[in-house]
Amino acid sequence: MDNQEIIKDERRTALVTGGSRGIGRAAALKLAEAGNNVVINYQGNEAAARETEELIHAACPDVGTLIVRADVSKEDEVREMVDSIMDAFGRIDILVNNAGITRDHLLLRMTAEDFDQVIATNLRGCFLLSKYAGQQMLKARYGRIINISSISGTHGNIGQVNYAASKAGILGITKSLAKEYASRGITVNAIAPGFIRTDMTDVLREDIRERILAEIPVKRLGEPSDVADAIVFLSRPESGFITGQVLGVDGGMGI
């Protein structure tokens, strides 16, 4: 029996970490539009998570949703989140490791705490979710794990030693886990967005934004939906022969 037969006639369930805002919200919406039940994880912004859920219900009234507060860097909270998803839907088919933070400083001004916080959320979070959601995928012998890295992880960036290290680490997880899980029907891929318009990038000064724009060959900033479309592509059963890859969604910035 192949994987497509296993999931036939049933909605798949997608977990999007950091689904309350930005790229995660766009991914949650598009994964729902693609016919998946969607779990919206957030850390602190419950109102934003509810807004994501309302957008999904308005666009896709038949799709099931669940909102779960959990800090992805905390092992017990991740385990409880996975348990609550299994109670609600009985399956986790798609995992989007999207939750992420920045604490940007030039190296000499970066504290060890800035470093640890970013590694904990971005890298440890990816590890913990891949482990505990992946355990359910292994049982089902089917899964799609999509890790959100960054052009900072593939190319480096001034002021982002901590963030770039976390995002490069995500590529290490992606490629290693792709090999570990390949024979079990589970693919593991990464997306490396360039500059995308979200709360994370809204804080940048106008002159920095203009400088970045000048470096983007397609001559526009990215939108969350640009990344969400790539996530949906990798989440499909038909993408089962693509694994261990890093897909740049950056308007050509990383060429």
Ligand X SMILES: NC(=O)c1ccc[n+]([C@@H]2O[C@H](COP(=O)([O-])OP(=O)(O)OC[C@H]3O[C@@H](n4cnc5c(N)ncnc54)[C@H](OP(=O)(O)O)[C@@H]3O)[C@@H](O)[C@H]2O)c1
| Cα–Cα distance, 34 to 14 (Å, whole number) | 11
* Cβ distance to ligand X smaller for residue 37 or 121: 121
Q: How far is the CB of 182 from ligand X (least distance, A)?
A: 24
Catalytic residue among 42, 132, 142, 163: 163
Give the sign of the dihedral formed by CA 6, CA 11, CA 13, CA 16.
positive
Q: List the structure tokens of 60.
A: 């896709």
Q: How far is the CB of 248 from ligand X (least distance, A)?
A: 10
Active site residue 163: yes
Q: List the structure tokens of 23.
A: 């790229």
CB-based burial label for 119 (10 Å; 0-12, 13-18, 19+): middle
Q: What are phi and psi of 227, to 5 degrees?
A: -75, -40
Residues that bind ligand X (CB under 6 A): 17-18, 20-24, 41-45, 48, 71-73, 98-101, 121, 148, 150, 193, 195-196, 198-201
Q: How far is the CB of 179 from ligand X (least distance, A)?
A: 23
* Cβ distance to ligand X smaller for residue 65 or 150: 150
β-strand pairing of 246-249 with 186-193: parallel
Beta strands across the sheet bearing 246-249: 65-69, 37-42, 13-16, 94-97, 143-148, 186-193, 246-249
Q: Provide the 10 A C-beta neighbour count for residue 151.
A: 19
Q: List the structure tokens of 210.
A: 């203009």
* Cβ distance to ligand X smaller for residue 34 or 230: 230
Q: How far is the CB of 86 from ligand X (least distance, A)?
A: 19
* Cβ distance to ligand X smaller for residue 101 or 246: 101
Active-site annotation, residues: 163
